[in-house]
């Protein structure tokens, strides 16, 4: 499969992640009496990854996340030469997903972008008022664990065919932990899309939601190989 086609798949998948996950938070979470709440939003994010893993996993690997791509490079599962096109496609997909969400959400009377469009934040912009340090630690640790799940579930020694389920449920659990802290990112593309439309504070705090996931993912890629033994590319030599 050409790099161009794989990049398009990453664009579509990341669009779905942001539109589906953030859309559930913006459009459905706060509806009186029937709103889905944190639990529903966490499940929505997990379902976007699970569905896309089956839809495009065989095309692009279904990274949907610059931190995941970087972690897989660190873990010797993905070539560094293809990293930039993947990241560009993921960020553009995240922006497109946020754009469609904004278009839909702004059609309701009384809508205000000050509500955040599910943007990530810390301190006064944390859903439950958690500090910058809390947000930083949460994003690093939760991204680390997400990459450990991905690396393990997609290891050729793992049971075949179940990786999307493990990864989707893993992301659901991660959101259940992290939504109260930062609205949960673990994904710079997911953070960038809404932040562009919210502007102001969301753009000012965006650095954390690039730095922390990348650190957590890169460390996980190295740690998984150290714990699990030789990587697939080494075994082929």
* pTM: predicted TM-score of the whole model, two decimal places: 0.92
Q: What are the tens digits of pLDDT across the range 81-129?
A: 999 999 999 999 999 999 999 999 999 988 889 878 999 999 999 999 9
Residue in the structure block whose two tokens are 């957590």: 216
Residue in the structure block whose two tokens are 């459009």: 27
Cβ atoms of residues 66 and 188 within 8 Å = yes
* 1.20.1080.10, 1.10.3370.10, 3.90.800.10, 3.20.20.150: CATH of 3-235: 1.20.1080.10
Q: How far is CA 191 from CA 160, 194, 229, in A?
A: 31, 6, 33
Q: How far apart are CA 159 and CA 162, in angstroms?
A: 6
Q: What are the tens digits of pLDDT across the range 68-90?
A: 999 999 999 999 999 999 999 99
Mean pLDDT of 37-49: 96
**CA angle 3-101-210, nearest 5°?**
55
pLDDT value, residue 234: 45
Kindly calculate the radius of gyration of the chain based on its CA atoms and give it in whole angstroms.
17
Going by C-alpha positions, the residue among 9, 20, 146 that lies closest to residue 85 is 9
Q: How many CB atoms lie within 10 A of CB 55?
A: 15
Cβ atoms of residues 87 and 66 within 8 Å = yes
Cβ atoms of residues 21 and 72 within 8 Å = no
In this structure, what token pair is assigned to residue 148? Answer: 């450990």
In this structure, what token pair is assigned to residue 65? Answer: 């996340």
- Give 236 or 50, the one with higher predicted confidence: 50
Spell out the alpha helix ranges (H) of 61-207.
Answer: 66-74, 83-105, 132-153, 163-182, 188-198, 200-204
pLDDT-derived band at 230 (thresholds 50, 70, 90) equals low
Mean pLDDT of 139-152: 98
């Amino acid at each position: 499969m050409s790099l161009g086609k794989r990049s398009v798949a990453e664009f579509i998948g990341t669009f779905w992640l942001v539109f589906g996950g953030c859309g559930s938070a913006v459009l459905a979470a706060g509806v009186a009496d029937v709103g889905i709440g944190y639990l529903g939003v966490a499940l929505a994010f997990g379902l976007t990854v699970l569905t896309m893993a089956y839809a495009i996993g065989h095309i692009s690997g279904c990274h949907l996340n610059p931190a995941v791509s970087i972690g897989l490079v660190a873990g010797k599962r993905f070539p560094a030469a293809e990293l930039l096109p993947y990241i560009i496609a993921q960020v553009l997909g995240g922006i497109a997903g946020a754009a469609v969400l904004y278009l839909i959400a702004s059609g309701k009377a009384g809508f205000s972008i000050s509500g955040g469009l599910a943007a990530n934040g810390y301190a006064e912009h944390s859903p439950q008022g958690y500090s910058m340090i809390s947000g930083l630690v949460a994003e690093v640790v939760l991204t680390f664990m997400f990459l450990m799940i991905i690396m393990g579930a997609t290891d050729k020694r793992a049971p075949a065919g179940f990786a999307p389920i493990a990864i989707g449920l893993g992301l659901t659990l991660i959101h259940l932990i992290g939504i109260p802290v930062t609205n949960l990112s673990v994904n710079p593309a997911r953070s960038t899309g809404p932040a562009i439309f919210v502007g102001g504070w969301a753009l000012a705090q965006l650095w954390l939601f690039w730095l922390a996931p990348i650190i957590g993912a890169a460390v996980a890629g190295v740690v998984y190989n150290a714990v699990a033994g030789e990587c697939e590319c080494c075994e082929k030599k």
